[in-house]
Amino acid sequence: MAGFAIFLLLAYIGIDQLAPAGRNLIKVNGEDPVAYFGTTHSLLFDHDFNLTNEFAHLPPSGRWWTADQPQTGLPGSPWGLGYSFLEIPLLALGTGIDALAGNPADGYSPWAIFFYCIGTVITAGLGLIVLFPLLRDVAAYWKIQPADHQSAYALFVVPIIFLGSNVGYYAFSQMAHSSTFLFATLFLLCWWRRRDSESPRDWLVLGLIGGFLSICRWQDALHVIGPVLYDLFGGGLLRKRAAWWRSRFLYAAGLGIWWIPQVLQWKAIYGKYLTIPQGGGFFAFPPTHILQLLFSTQSGWFSWTPVVFLGVVGLCLGAFRAPRLYLPWLIVLALQIALIGSIPYWDGLGAFGARYLLSNVPMTAVGLITLYGLSGVLVRRGLSVACLACCGFTLLFAVQFRLDLIPLHTPLTYKEFISDKFDIGAARQRRAAVLTARELINQGNPLAAAEVLEAARPLGDDRDVELMLERAYRAAGRGAQADEASVRHRLILDSSLF
């Protein structure tokens, strides 16, 4: 697995050089990534939570949640501190290399940005390394025979999870998702191996891991109730020894330690130790977006990354066979789904798949290896084929998404969801025609734009082609043809799936 992690790092650098769709990977832009970087930079250089000078040097693309707060006048930063903490050593290392290379040692020079950006790949790679022993332990629990196949199945499932979920996509994105994957996996591994321990050290370590996970992304705090539920389902709490109670007290203490800097940040920025930094109305109960979150072609967890559906099925079957071991994590998963389903921005604001649920991917990996453990040889072979097919589907989705070949913030048509995956070339030509036509219209040449778009029509129905054609025809004074393009555009939208 270490070799695979190194391969990921090399692939990241190579893809950055190729710059698909004209976009490099090694950069810091947007709102979330700029805020994460700004927090890392401020902690390293200024030792505070004031991002004013960071945003002056590297402004976010939008100021939705980073607007100056009326209570303190400081820029907002509603994201957890965990990922920014992890990036401090890498930013410091890059800054040191910049100093040796004669670049300004200010944290903004090329080597500083490079080492900061590869942090997500490193944490994703470490997450995969940790995932392997977890899956091997689960395979051993289910006594997959022969015994040497336990490691083989674990070794198969690890890359399947990376490629078939959105972990692979967000390994190359400067946001906190790779850190949640790493620490959620580490948390599960530590708990699996020490779940019945009374050692104070074991439970303090588990608490520290869970506490750090909970400040990577807020919803990940729900993970920490999994061990509590396991203990509750075991019963007999009043008969537990004092050593057991001490270990669980240290678990709670470990969870709380990492929240000290988090509430200090909230106090510095929002003027309160406890707050919802995204503001009121961020949650709307009861949750109304659960079905969309799971099944929508817009960004559904199961529809975009179907391998996680197989993992959830495995978790459910595991709960029937070993309820005390699996049911706590099904409850944690259900609570996460309900929580994200209550957010108006459940789709992650145009994300690749359900990125808010990414920290649950290690659970689905456990479910997937459980399916292997509960199945016979023939079923395992069929499951392996299904896993490979799911990976292929999600990888093609990633290509579509990265090349801007599918619309955001809206359900997809069957063609966008299925057919275009097998004709990426035609989809790219249609996209190129739209971009060319837009430029021609802006240059005052709508007739030439219409000709480009008309040539793209035989390549397949495309909502953007028809929308741009309507614009071109109207600019050229061809009202009837503009109306026809508008009707075609509406018919395509009406054919959208769930």
The residues spanned by each domain of the chain are 31-117, 119-402, 414-494
Q: Is the predicted pLDDT of residue 2 greater than 70, yes or no?
A: no
Angle between helices 463-475 and 424-442 (to 10 degrees): 20
pLDDT tens-place string over residues 381-392: 999 999 999 999
Mean pLDDT of 404-428: 91
Mean pLDDT of 317-324: 95
CB 440 within 8 A of CB 468: no
Mean pLDDT of 214-243: 90
Distance CA 347, CA 304 (A): 12
Provide the token pair at 217: 């992304």
Residue 286, phi-psi category: left (phi > 0), alpha (psi -120 to 50), beta (remainder) = beta
Mean pLDDT of 21-28: 77
**Residues pairing with 75 in the sheet:** 68
210 in helix, strand or coil? helix
**Local confidence band at 482 (pLDDT 50, 70, 90 cut-offs):** confident
| Closest listed residue to residue 348, CA positions, set 303, 301, 305 | 301
**Local confidence band at 393 (pLDDT 50, 70, 90 cut-offs):** very high
CB 51 within 8 A of CB 39: yes
CB 357 within 8 A of CB 336: yes
Provide the token pair at 35: 């805020």
**Lowest-pLDDT range of 173-177, 244-248, 276-280:** 276-280
Amino acid at site 316: C
Longest CA–CA span in the chain (Å) reads 85
Q: Is the predicted pLDDT of residue 476 greater than 70, yes or no?
A: yes
Q: Is the predicted pLDDT of residue 21 greater than 70, yes or no?
A: no
Distance CA 33, CA 173 (A): 8
> So what's the pLDDT on residue 456?
87
Residue 68: φ, ψ to 5°: -60, 135
C-alpha distances in angstroms, 430 versus 20, 397, 467, 474?
17, 17, 12, 20
Residue 318 carries which DSSP code?
Answer: H
Provide the token pair at 33: 């990534």
> So what's the pLDDT on residue 1?
64
**Local confidence band at 234 (pLDDT 50, 70, 90 cut-offs):** confident
| Closest listed residue to residue 132, CA positions, set 172, 42, 55, 192 | 192
**Lowest-pLDDT range of 122-126, 162-166, 188-192, 401-405:** 401-405
Buried b / exposed e over 435-457, threshold 16 CB at 10 Å, is ebbbebbeeebbebbbebbbebb
Listed in sequence order, the residues at least 6 apart from 407 whose beta carbon sits closer than 8 Å to its beta carbon are: 416, 463, 464
**Lowest-pLDDT range of 175-184, 249-258, 281-290:** 281-290
Q: Is the predicted pLDDT of residue 4 greater than 70, yes or no?
A: no
| Residue 200: cis peptide before it, omega within 30 degrees of 0 | no
Distance CA 493, CA 487 (A): 10
Q: Is the predicted pLDDT of residue 345 greater than 90, yes or no?
A: no
For CA atoms 305, 145, 330, 155, give the dihedral sign: negative
Q: Is the predicted pLDDT of residue 110 greater than 70, yes or no?
A: yes
Amino acid at site 105: A
For CA atoms 42, 48, 51, 57, give the dihedral sign: negative
H or E stretch covering 168: helix 167-170
Residue 183, phi-psi category: left (phi > 0), alpha (psi -120 to 50), beta (remainder) = alpha
| Closest listed residue to residue 295, CA positions, set 283, 305, 284, 281 | 305
Cα of 70 vs its chain's centroid, Å: 31
H or E stretch covering 461: none
In this predicted model, which residue has the larger pLDDT, 492 or 64?
492
> So what's the pLDDT on residue 451?
87
Q: Which CATH number fits domain 414-494: 3.40.720, 2.20.25, 1.10.10, 1.25.40?
A: 1.25.40
CB 362 within 8 A of CB 181: yes
Distance CA 419, CA 295 (A): 18
% the chain with pLDDT above 90: 66
Q: How many CB atoms lie within 10 A of CB 390?
A: 20
Q: Is the predicted pLDDT of residue 116 greater than 90, yes or no?
A: yes
**Local confidence band at 130 (pLDDT 50, 70, 90 cut-offs):** very high
pLDDT mean across residues, the chain: 91
> So what's the pLDDT on residue 240?
84
Buried b / exposed e over 225-237, threshold 16 CB at 10 Å, is ebbebbbeeeeee
| Residue 146: cis peptide before it, omega within 30 degrees of 0 | yes
